[in-house]
Structure 1
Amino acid sequence: MITRLKRLLKREKPRVFLGRLSIAPHAQTLQRPDAELGAALLARLEEIIDLPPADQASNPAPTDLVLDVVVPRFLVGDYWDVSLGATSLPLFWRPRVTLSGHLYALQSRETKYTCSVTRKMPWGEFFCRQLSWRNAFRFRSVFAAEDLNHLLSLACHGLIHRLRKSL
């Protein structure tokens, strides 16, 4: 028991390198895909996850790991009012970002851990935005890239927290 504890305490911390960062094609649903917004999210993701690239790893060790991150889905969020004859039905969807992470060994390519994290705008904030004066004319969605950037930052934090716990 004591030797196990000593091994755990002396265990070398693995180095983590960045593999691929990507936005899945057609990641945005319920609305038309927005390539410009996807590119902005990818640029923000590169800023947030600041790891050295895996292809530039010098002297790779058996403990070295690579992290691939994909945004499989994101929604800008909006509100529609669907009329069904004399009645109408409101449809809401909040801004949401989903991140998937794949952690694997650099040398053997063996998967160590995979997980997915989703962050959504809280309902209170969503309804405050919907009831704002900017939404009265409805030229475009009330929600913008800044909202998704904030959710992306929260999702990255959650993903990294899960990855740290897995190691």
Structure 2
Amino acid sequence: MLNKLFGKKTYKLYLGNIHVVERKDLKRFFDQPLPLLFESNESLLYRRLEELFELPSAQNLKEVSRDDLAIDIIIPSYQGGSFMFGLVGVPVPLFWRPKLQILSQIYRLQDSKVLSKVKVTTKQPWRQFFKNLIPFQQFDSDELEPLLLMSCAKALEQHSKKLDIH
């Protein structure tokens, strides 16, 4: 009986929706590989999110209880790092570091009430960015993976604080 009064409630977490928004900005031509030769970054990020959040799908659930929750994960924007020289009469160095943004929400499946919503933006530290520039390589899709892992970890940490789950 004391367990019911003082114990924490247990919830079941399911995977809702995963979405990676396709980039439309001009930078995409400089900081990601050609889509004809390589898999697009959107599909790589989507696949990686599926692997990270290896949860049962909320869409396959037959009966829903009040203790069933779902998490949606959206990557609305990301960019890889790039370094080049703009020629506007005088060579001007142009560079930007990798950045990834995640929007995530946890909601109750029974009534779709949102319990927690977070937004996390993670950028590669400048020191790491310049260290990776030394071999003067073009964009490497592997540089987004650590940012994805950090962003997901921060999002889950913020969800647990908001929902008081430790």
Which bin holds the TM-score, normalised by the shorter protein?
Answer: 0.7 to 0.9
In the other structure, the counterpart of 1:95 is 98
Matched-pair contact (CA < 8 Å) for 1:29–1:73: no
**Deviations 1:90-112 (Å, cap 9, x if unpaired)?**
22211111111021110101111
2:145 is aligned with 1:149: yes
Q: What CA deviation, in whole Å up to 9, does each residue of 1:35-94 have, x standing for no partner?
A: 612101111111111111112335422132111101111101101222343x44322211
Question: Does 1:53 find its partner at 2:49?
Answer: no
Task: Give the SS at the match of 2:152.
Answer: helix
Letter in 2 for 1:106: L
Q: Is the 8 A contact 2:22 2:42 kept in 1?
A: no
Within 2, Cα distance between the matches of 1:54 and 1:12?
A: 20
Is residue 21–residue 68 contact of structure 1 (8 Å, CA) maintained in 2? Answer: yes
CA distance in 2: counterparts of 1:27 and 1:46, whole angstroms: 23
Residue aligning to 1:36: 40
Stretches of structure 2 lacking an aligned partner (at least 5 in a row): none
Partner of residue 23, structure 1: 20
Residue of structure 2 aligned with 1:113, choices 113, 116, 128 = 116
d(CA) in 1 for partners of 2:141, 2:28: 15
Pair 1:101–1:144, CA change in 2 (3 A):
same
For 1:96 and 1:31, the matched residues in 2 are separated by 13
**Change over 3 Å in CA distance of 1:28–1:44 after alignment to 2:** farther
CA contact (8 A) 2:21 2:76 kept: yes
Check conservation: 1:27, 1:72, Cα contact below 8 A.
no
Contact 1:23 1:71 in 2 (8 A): yes
Structure 1: gaps of 5 or more residues: none
Number of residues of Structure 1 aligned to a counterpart in Structure 2: 154
- TM-score when scaled to structure 2? 0.81
Within the candidate set 143, 160, 163, 1:164 is matched to 160
The answer to whether structure 1 residue 129 and structure 2 residue 159 are counterparts is no
Question: Percent same amino acid among aligned pairs?
Answer: 26
Shift in Å at residue 25 of structure 1?
2.6
Shift of 1:28: 6.3
